[in-house]
Structure 1
Amino acid sequence: MLNYDQPLYRPPSEARSLIFQVTLGCSFNKCSFCNMYRTKEYQERSWDEIKMEIDLASKHLPESRRIFLADGDALNLPTEKMIQILSYIRQKFPNIERISCYAMPKNILEKSPEDLKKLHEAGLEMFYIGIESGSDIILKKVTKGATGQTIIKACQKAKDAGYIISCMIILGLGGKTYSRQHVEDTARILNATSPHYVGTLTLHLEEGIRDEFLTKFKEPFIPIDDSDALDELEMLIRNMNPNAPVIFRANHGSNAYPIGGTFPQDKEAMLQKISYLREHPQLCRPVGLRGF
């Protein structure tokens, strides 16, 4: 029905959402671990294009309740244009329950508190934020374009404006060398921000990005194995003590082992499951069935 500009990505939890590409690609596009938008040049789509697709979708899928704004950089749009899009979506989809998008820390920080509140009032309710790691050393090595402190500021700013935030972490991003620092610093950020949702992925370097990642890392990179990933997951859960409930999921297709629960009440149960999985490695997801 809609003529998407491929490749098209969305978070796993938006699998049943209607997607509108309001931007194409990513305005930053320098994260050395991410190959999602390397084939695209960043563009902001015109209002006429976006309106036409909203009109078309509203005729064929009028009961849509969740909408995701793609590609990787919808929040980079000027505030007034974003409000125009959000308002029209709500007009054309009267049963809408949630509109969400990816959000880079820098894009959140570049919006004023007033603009973030205006966008929220217009219908934007949820941000998916890639934390990746809390370690400044690792964030620099993977050219994330953020520091631990800017991530904390961005998450808190979004929460202060009323947004639900879902944050992504990448197990193994620092390799064996920085494994402990990666996990401990990441837990520190999660404790400081208490995102509503936290999801973990496990690093997988595709051929198109592998050389760039290894070059930018600037020292030998020793990948973690499945046992190390379980160790990182255990250390992360042990070190997480958020000051508000956090729904935690490690069930992404890139992970060797699925873990899930809600902090604080499920913390011990998750740790017990990790102990069980360590004793039963046959429960590991086969490598051929994993994907980043």
Structure 2
Amino acid sequence: MHYQGNIIRPPSEADSIILQVTVGCSHNRCTFCGAYRDPEQKFQIKDEGIIDLDLEFATQYCRKLKTVFLADGDALVIPQQRLLNLFRRIRKELPWVRRISLYANCRSILKRSPNELAALKAAGLGRIYMGLESGCEQVLLEIKKGATAAEMLAAGRRVREAEIFLSVTCLLGIGGTVYSQQHAEDTAAVLSQMQPNQIAVLTLMLLDNTELGRAVHEGRFQLPDQIGLFQELRTMLARLADFRCQFQANHASNYFALAGRLPKDREHFLATIDQALAGTARLKPEWLRGL
């Protein structure tokens, strides 16, 4: 495979064919993200000839892998007809593949009409991963996410209406100590209206090569302590409406793991968080946490 720069994928795509069709992120302004900060690495849609070579490689060496993930940060930015042609090539050359997935930001989703998303689903798009991060308007503004809470909600609903599986990521701690509880409450409110198929909760890890990391060193941002992070998670879970979805807070960045289904497992999750708040839960040491 011809990979350029950092290749980022969701944990649930660990057993997928990772087909890099774009390099970097089309937005690349979020203050917390350091994945694509190499000044020499500009965002681009990869040449079709290189993608063809990668597909040829997959036909020979990836026959046991049943899903494809299109990297990098926002493959949905690829023009509609070109993306449809790519899906058709995947289905023709990798006929054993049962699902295609990709990251998509809010803007790229909203640029697609409902009919265009439906066409992508019919061509094989089975899952979209969208980074909500927070439902708090002020937090979204300060982290330079490039979308309002209302736009995030509209994008999520558009994916759901197209009957494409929607996985939404949220970040504990992204509001700092100033907006901690507001972040948790507003995120729960947006998720309750959006009703994604999957919620993935990560914990913010500060990186030196990011604007937010520099803000910490300069005293302009303070990450909540463990108790504050656990309280955010508890508030978020407790305030979620009763809709069916997968819920995961088992990323390497988290201090303890939650994984199951809502609303069925809510009380079990809350009990586990209460143990962490009481200091009786076994927590992951800092050296084992990662992105």
TM-score range, shorter chain: over 0.9
In 2, Cα distance between equivalents of 1:212 and 1:222:
10
Q: How high is the TM-score relative to the length of structure 1? A: 0.94
Matches within 5 A, 1:135-146: 135-146=136-147
Q: CA deviation at 1:281?
A: 4.6
Using the size of structure 2 for normalisation, the TM-score is: 0.95
- Counterpart of 2:66 in structure 1 is 65
Give 1:276 shift.
Answer: 2.2
Equivalent residue, structure 1, for 2:82: 81
Structure 1 residues 273 and 252: alpha-carbon distance in aligned structure 2, compared to 1, 3 A threshold: same
Q: Equivalent residue for 2:262?
A: 263
The residue that corresponds to 2:221 in the other structure is: 221
Q: State the secondary structure of the residue aligned to 1:118.
A: helix
CA-based RMSD: 1.6
Aligned equivalent of 1:47: 48
The whole-number CA distance in structure 2 between the counterparts of 1:21 and 1:249 is: 25
Q: Which residue of 2 aligns with 1:185?
A: 186
How far the C-alpha of 1:3 sits from its partner, in A, is 2.6
205-214 or 114-123, which moves further after superposition? 205-214
Query: Secondary structure of the equivalent of 2:58?
Result: helix
Aligned residues: 288
Unaligned runs of at least 5 residues, structure 1:
none
The AA in structure 2 aligned to 1:87 is R
Query: Unaligned regions of 5+ residues in structure 2, if any?
Result: none
8 Å CA contact 1:65–1:98 kept in 2: the answer is yes
Q: Does the 8 A contact of 2:251 with 2:257 survive in 1?
A: yes
Pairs within 5 Å for 1:155-166: 155-166=156-167
Q: 2:63, 2:247 → 1: CA distance?
A: 32
Per-residue CA deviation, residues 164-187 of structure 1 (Å, 9 max, x unaligned), is 000000000011110111001000
Taking the aligned partners of 1:288 and 1:248, their CA distance within structure 2 comes to 25
Cα distance 1:212–1:251, how it changes in 2: closer, same or farther (>3 A)?
closer
Verify the 8 A CA contact 2:149 2:190 in the aligned structure 1.
yes
Residue-by-residue CA offset, 1:123-162 (whole Å, 9 max, x unaligned): 0110000000001100000000011100000000011112
- Equivalent positions of 1:1-292 (< 5 A) are 2-39=1-38, 40-210=41-211, 214=215, 220-242=220-242, 244-281=243-280, 283-292=282-291
Is the Cα contact below 8 Å between 1:197 and 1:247 reproduced in 2? yes
Q: Using a 3 Å threshold, how does the CA distance of structure 1 residues 211 and 269 change in structure 2: closer, same or farther? A: closer
What CA distance in whole angstroms lies between the structure 1 residues aligned with 2:281 and 2:180? Answer: 24
- Check whether the contact 1:167–1:195 (CA below 8 A) recurs between aligned residues: yes
What's the CA shift for 1:214?
2.0
Task: Read off the aligned partner of 1:245 and give its amino acid letter.
Answer: R
